Structure 1
């Protein structure tokens, strides 16, 4: 459910403080409770192998719910019998079982377990690094976190879990994607801020292959479904996000906006294992608008015409003049998007291997239906094969993986949300008595007409990777990485004549369809030479390599019209008229040399230097190559003797920093060349070409300079870990469209502009192990991001076409609006401040109020609780932000469009103090103009902050025989939201598309 409370800020702060303080309160609580009379008192001391006392060690009596925790001096006292067994456990040390054997005092020494923080291996792309010794900012989300959510897109697993990464689901429609920004928006171009995606070492293009004319009416952005939906989240082992210069510079220009590394699952050493996962669930729109019922709606309409002085009522005011039944009331939200969506997933996996050879093969099927009326769904099928082999002497290692997926997307061609929210509650019924669509004598457009048209998208994707590692000498390895990707998308949007009122007399010869076929293939070759040398107290790692990559894309979009029968509308060959509306063939080539120098002295002082020289075919010959690099350093001060001797509670401490540069070539291909487009018009039966772009070989790379300082701390043997980072990214030499005079025949020229965008912020993370006993474990994690962004400089901004869009000192994601003075008590109309005092409210001079639509802060809170075979996971996501209100996207209040019940608090007579202007039918020019100004004023911007229970998962491992395992789980997503936002959903902040659905799934995992 969605709760609207009077004070979002106070409630959110209370919840955050409560969840934040719970782990620390738990640290002081006893780990067990005496449930039976004690037989004796046993005391003792717990130390490490060096004799240092250990505080916070969990002690439990085996097979009994009796436990305690060692004190600061390592001492403990517990009630136990003379034949009982004590179990000692603590993070960072191996669990130890000790028999009391009639003793009254027990002295225990625990052995350090190095398989904790120091052994957490992070994928940094061309190399791996331990969590403790990394110099860059790398965040990791593991398979355990990914599988908690019923996802079709792997980016959904990052929501609320990674600091500095802002992710928004664009729609609840199957196949829709996510908008992602890693540390803010650096490029003025909206299309220049996407991160680099790497799947098993292969670059993966995330740009949709769809065409705006086919998918624009159903999928946000108009680009078709996201290619990332063709990567099955269930096949992913981990996702790493590289953020700072030290982590991303080795990727050069491609890593300017961050890097997302996706690693698929591989086989493990052990007997061959078969796993079967089956789950099913349902989803619904989590929130409905509280709209006017028929009685209030008709009063609004009548009052609107009275205020406008219109009498009698117009003939086309069907809702209020008696043409439509004034006693009818329909919940159009329920009718048009109130259906329950079904979700079904089946997956099978075969894996196993030994020390030399490991393998994994898996296949999965996923079906997701929609909340619209009708039979619409999205079917995904994916296959993953992963093979890993090495010789006994580890001289040769070979790895091969292939991931193939297909998608069949069948959707309604037009989203029904907008009509569902706008239709009059007394609008006619949907069907006639004979089951046909009811057009009510041509007095309305039946919303189900949209079901006559379809959006069909069939896509497939192949990702193949092979890597060979050959040990030439001791410490010297030659590695070659080979990758290939192929994507294909076939889209069809149909607009049959049955979409229109039969009274128009349109036949199938007026039916039309838009076909889009797109292909994209790419290959990459990356030879690398790595040398590692141990000089005693100092370890040296040197990596040099090269990259050769080529990507080819093709697209053909055609408009077909005139069919003898609507049954043939999907057959392009049956059309009488055919027009080419888009035809392109694009090649992109990229080459680079890169290197890394890493020095580790005594495990305390670490230096990491990376560099890369990039070449891109997107620039002219004189600016095709550029150099990028970074330096990172870390000091693990907790390994200094003066820290180890005097601050024993501090188990880990590291200071790190980095600075470097990266570039950006996300401008599209052939931007520097004269280009021409195909013209459908004919002259003497010959098709012509027309110029679309001017030659400009002078522009070059955008440049992003990144700076970061950070501290990582661990307390009580890493039972509490804390991290904090400050970053500053400055992006200059912006690639934008420079406006040209209309006399040139071109609107703009792509060129570099001496504008600079700065993104700064703080990223904070806290992880605690609140309880850890033999059977009970409770851990918590919190991340918080405090971002800031501003445009530092932009030459002659006021004289450019960006003057009404950007402001020096403000973020890029702003909106310039009028300043509302409220509803005038005398006229009942919205009023606005006249900044230039000319007595006229105008677009340029009076839109002077700046509203920042970037989040003020965002983050997540997760808790994991495990008791015996039960596991409970909960993830809360929160964001503090502004958004466009519901009224900002609606028609004039009083016109033939339903409204929120909030509009009842309107102006009615002179002297009224209200927030809603008087009702107007839309035929009063003053009232309509005031409403239009209102939608572009600060009064239409509201608090869109929210706290959401993003994920809740409960699982139980059924205790069975050793060779057979059965796990059942119940999972939910988007279950609960606290917000003040007036629209359907504060995440999308849109009233024209389906919001993310609330899903509940039940499933089982069988392992043989």
Structure 2
């Protein structure tokens, strides 16, 4: 009986299983790559080059779905048929853009807040190591500045300006797959300063740009208020690539890049430099060249000509990257595995460089009834950065007739102890190894038809090991230095954090009404463990690689810092008839960084949108197909002040009393220490014209930040210089933004689109009570821009004395610090970008132009006294001599004339060193071709050529209009890549 029953059931099942075949076409041409599957089934078939498919179905009247990314989805009720041939018809219109707003997703046309987005197609395969480099010039209101051209360095990111008086109070919040990243640098500045500009390494260096699916930036109160205090400076949400609803595929990308430093300045040649030096001694009435003037007194060859720019930072270097990804899935299970490895050289050469390797693994599983969805993600990277312990860029100032670097025997040349060979600095090594693990779990359970429970939980672990080696071989052997003077510095930072965010979501829709709401809470904890060590007096330099070999070992820093944060948040959204939308968000935050009675604060926002194009009087307008007016108002906060700032703290002293180390009070307790608060307002107009061929958004925003976290000055009798407190200063950031997207041509085989954005920011210090009594009086002035500098006013060069003259602005008959009161604006006036993409059949061409109008410090700010043994840019050769009395620069000197030396010092603090540093840069150009292949192992082969930072138009006379000071300028790169899909 059991056997018979089994046969009966099997027969019924077999009777219900059918194999369906057919052909999918478009305009009578076969269509490849169409996914064909039965609704509710896990089996997916894909059409071949002839458009043919074969798929198994079951049931009495199954529904077959045909899906292709470029065409509308089709559903066919099968009936009794076993052969189905269909045509997908017209090409799909522009897909509705869905934005990730953090705790919820929203359609672009229905959002009430300001959210900018870039997708994978904008950033993938670019020859950069950080997504921020790819995003420059692409988003209105988002200013991204690279601090140096050195790989593994940092970026300055400002979302609608600076809200805090403190630089460290302006970091945005970074969220990667729902898990917050540490916004601040991953470097120990005490070890990396002088190597990386500002000593900073961007936390986003840990993420391979090719692993990123999209990056959204939340800007206004409506978008950021749900993040409360963490969203005061904007929120950057990064989503990594996930699995897809398609047949499993393997993709392999190889990229090779050749790079070189941009050169914006020309240095004086040997004859010009020697004349400068001779004039300096002549001006100072020194007829006999001193013994240390090796460039002039015959010690060095005066006919030698060396291009130190090319020698030290002019190397062309190679970078390579390989990426392998495996992804696919079905209606219930989607998966993605990506593995990457990247190696990048440096302009410094000598085996230095940056490496990054890692993997990302994600999976999305849904039950058959679609009630439960679980999405775990793991991302792991290892970064290795090996550099010498100082940026060699400043060495371009060596005298052009300085000695060669190596002797004929290959050893460093010290030119009979007359030359401090800069290549000895290569003996000093800096290395950094950063391991980052980010794991995340999203769980979504549909409790009832309109109710769902969600859980976002994540864990992040960052371990950074830094070391600086300073062996005695970095010194001239004549100094007698040996391994006993060698030193080693080590630093270890371990940061681990976890976050749990349970949420309840509700959605209801009837007739013209649509309601959605969510409520949730955040519990977050972070611990930093910091250890810094020093070792010296090694028995041999061969042993310097191990700290335990040092005879003297010191613990410089041993700290553990804990940060705790929790919050309750909620959102309510009401949509009436798709025309009128109101969005309310609220959050109550608690931070361990404030006093016991001030740890909690409330933040919230309201956003509203009116889609006026849906009104009856505009519905039949031919030229307007979308129009929206939106507004938002709300508050956010900031606790970016560091930990334990409100507490009484004590520090171990290095002074020894009776053989015992003591401690001393280093900070005063302030129980009222509390949140900075920022009130944000925005009004915006969005238009879609001529069937979405032209899309325009214009916005005006205004942010006002108060309750500033600063150090208040105290009387010296208290024993403390300041106490951390909230000061009633108020900072305003306002501005206008515009974004334009134009689809010039949109046909099947030919598409051409253009996008542009422009931001005009304005910042002002509105209030600062008794600013004159604080240290901020030298930096800010009430009613003025936050980007001002107080400087001396240069009158010019006195034609008789050849020395700089300055204006006596306070009229007391002398030039001193009281005359440093002229206010000069510095920073960006406006910035933007222009991009375009052209697709013709299998060809694709795109470019991005970035433009910035700004004033910055010139190179003069960083160059020593004109005339000492140091080269200068050729433009500085316009200096005063008896024959050139109308010169731009004062007479050169040797440092013995106090008037000339003091004038040079005043000059570097004057308005003369703040100049126009505007630039227009061709940031990226890319050309790709997809080679059509017949059915086989390789489905697609795409070849791509790219150029990054191709050229810059600027009147700025310096190393780089973007990179300040003597740090490695920006890098020009050319890359070739090949992507194979199996």
Residue aligned with 2:183, SS: coil
User: Equivalent residue for 2:345?
Assistant: 369
Residue aligned with 2:453, SS: strand
User: Equivalent residue for 1:704?
Assistant: 678
User: How far 1:683 sits from its partner (Å)?
Assistant: 4.0
User: How far 1:807 sits from its partner (Å)?
Assistant: 1.1
User: Equivalent residue for 2:515?
Assistant: 540
Residue aligned with 1:780, SS: strand
Is contact 2:264–2:960 with CA below 8 Å preserved after alignment?
no
Deviations 1:304-359, CA, capped at 9 Å, x for gaps: 11111111111111111111111111111111111112110000001000011000
Residue aligned with 2:331, SS: coil
Q: Greater shift after overlay, 153-162 or 344-353?
A: 153-162
Is contact 1:672–1:699 with CA below 8 Å preserved after alignment?
yes
User: How far 1:936 sits from its partner (Å)?
Assistant: 1.1
User: Equivalent residue for 1:123?
Assistant: 100
The residue correspondences of 1:420-569 to structure 2 (distance < 5 A) are: 420=396, 422-569=397-544
1:752 partnered with 2:726:
yes
User: Equivalent residue for 1:379?
Assistant: 355
User: Equivalent residue for 1:816?
Assistant: 790
* Aligned-CA RMSD value: 1.9
1:197 partnered with 2:156:
no
Deviations 1:25-56, CA, capped at 9 Å, x for gaps: xxxxxxxxxxxxxxxxxxxxxxxxxxxxxxxx
Q: Pick from 182, 186, 191 the counterpart of residue 159 of structure 2.
A: 182
The residue correspondences of 1:391-406 to structure 2 (distance < 5 A) are: 391-406=367-382
User: How far 1:813 sits from its partner (Å)?
Assistant: 2.5
1:904 partnered with 2:877:
yes
User: How far 1:116 sits from its partner (Å)?
Assistant: 3.0
Q: Distance in 2 between matches of 1:164 and 1:637?
A: 25
Residue aligned with 1:644, SS: coil
User: Equivalent residue for 2:630?
Assistant: 656
1:972 partnered with 2:950:
no
User: Equivalent residue for 1:346?
Assistant: 322
Is contact 2:125–2:210 with CA below 8 Å preserved after alignment?
no
Q: 1:934 to 1:296 in 2, by over 3 A?
A: same
Q: Pick from 892, 907, 912 the counterpart of residue 934 of structure 1.
A: 907
Return 5+ residue gaps in structure 1 as ranges: 1-59, 64-90, 97-109
Q: Distance in 1 between matches of 2:70 and 2:578?
A: 18
User: How far 1:572 sits from its partner (Å)?
Assistant: 0.8
User: How far 1:383 sits from its partner (Å)?
Assistant: 0.4
Q: Pick from 819, 837, 842 the counterpart of residue 816 of structure 2.
A: 842
User: How far 1:212 sits from its partner (Å)?
Assistant: 2.1
User: How far 1:210 sits from its partner (Å)?
Assistant: 2.3
Residue aligned with 1:926, SS: helix
Residue aligned with 2:583, SS: strand
Is contact 1:885–1:982 with CA below 8 Å preserved after alignment?
yes
Q: Pick from 729, 743, 748 the counterpart of residue 769 of structure 1.
A: 743
Is contact 1:827–1:910 with CA below 8 Å preserved after alignment?
no
User: Equivalent residue for 2:924?
Assistant: 951
User: Equivalent residue for 1:413?
Assistant: 389
Is contact 1:210–1:516 with CA below 8 Å preserved after alignment?
no
Q: 1:644 to 1:95 in 2, by over 3 A?
A: farther
Q: Pick from 880, 885, 897 the counterpart of residue 924 of structure 1.
A: 897
Q: Distance in 1 between matches of 2:827 and 2:165?
A: 14
Residue aligned with 2:143, SS: strand
Is contact 2:147–2:964 with CA below 8 Å preserved after alignment?
no
User: How far 1:536 sits from its partner (Å)?
Assistant: 1.3
Deviations 1:727-756, CA, capped at 9 Å, x for gaps: 000000000011223333322211000000
Is contact 2:491–2:533 with CA below 8 Å preserved after alignment?
yes
Residue aligned with 1:970, SS: strand
Q: 1:633 to 1:93 in 2, by over 3 A?
A: farther
Q: 1:619 to 1:962 in 2, by over 3 A?
A: farther
Deviations 1:453-480, CA, capped at 9 Å, x for gaps: 0001111000000011111111100111
Q: Distance in 1 between matches of 2:159 and 2:752?
A: 30
Q: Pick from 689, 692, 700 the counterpart of residue 715 of structure 1.
A: 689
User: Equivalent residue for 2:183?
Assistant: 206
User: How far 1:592 sits from its partner (Å)?
Assistant: 0.4
User: Equivalent residue for 1:589?
Assistant: 564
Q: Pick from 590, 594, 613 the counterpart of residue 638 of structure 1.
A: 613
Q: Distance in 2 between matches of 1:167 and 1:390?
A: 39
User: Equivalent residue for 1:738?
Assistant: 712
Q: Distance in 1 between matches of 2:545 and 2:663?
A: 29
Is contact 1:455–1:491 with CA below 8 Å preserved after alignment?
yes
Residue aligned with 2:382, SS: strand
Q: Pick from 262, 265, 275 the counterpart of residue 238 of structure 2.
A: 262
Is contact 1:463–1:483 with CA below 8 Å preserved after alignment?
yes
Residue aligned with 1:810, SS: coil
User: Equivalent residue for 2:977?
Assistant: 1003
Residue aligned with 1:557, SS: strand
Q: 1:878 to 1:174 in 2, by over 3 A?
A: same
User: Equivalent residue for 2:548?
Assistant: 573
User: Equivalent residue for 2:198?
Assistant: 221
Q: Distance in 2 between matches of 1:471 and 1:292?
A: 72
Q: Distance in 2 between matches of 1:712 and 1:900?
A: 49
User: How far 1:541 sits from its partner (Å)?
Assistant: 0.4
User: How far 1:114 sits from its partner (Å)?
Assistant: 8.2
Is contact 2:627–2:685 with CA below 8 Å preserved after alignment?
yes
Q: Distance in 2 between matches of 1:834 and 1:501?
A: 47
Q: Distance in 2 between matches of 1:562 and 1:771?
A: 71
User: Equivalent residue for 2:65?
Assistant: none
1:297 partnered with 2:277:
no
Q: Distance in 1 between matches of 2:125 and 2:906?
A: 45
Q: 1:679 to 1:571 in 2, by over 3 A?
A: farther
Q: Distance in 2 between matches of 1:743 and 1:361?
A: 63
Is contact 1:148–1:953 with CA below 8 Å preserved after alignment?
no
Is contact 1:92–1:116 with CA below 8 Å preserved after alignment?
no
Q: Distance in 1 between matches of 2:555 and 2:825?
A: 41
1:994 partnered with 2:968:
yes
Normalised to the residue count of structure 1, the TM-score between the two structures is: 0.88
User: How far 1:682 sits from its partner (Å)?
Assistant: 4.0
Residue aligned with 2:248, SS: strand
User: Equivalent residue for 1:280?
Assistant: 256
User: Equivalent residue for 2:579?
Assistant: 604
Q: 1:174 to 1:880 in 2, by over 3 A?
A: same
Is contact 1:733–1:755 with CA below 8 Å preserved after alignment?
yes
Q: Distance in 2 between matches of 1:573 and 1:148?
A: 43
Return 5+ residue gaps in structure 2 as ranges: 1-25, 30-68, 75-87
Q: Distance in 2 between matches of 1:276 and 1:111?
A: 32
User: Equivalent residue for 1:796?
Assistant: 770
Q: Greater shift after overlay, 810-819 or 320-329?
A: 810-819
Residue aligned with 1:473, SS: coil
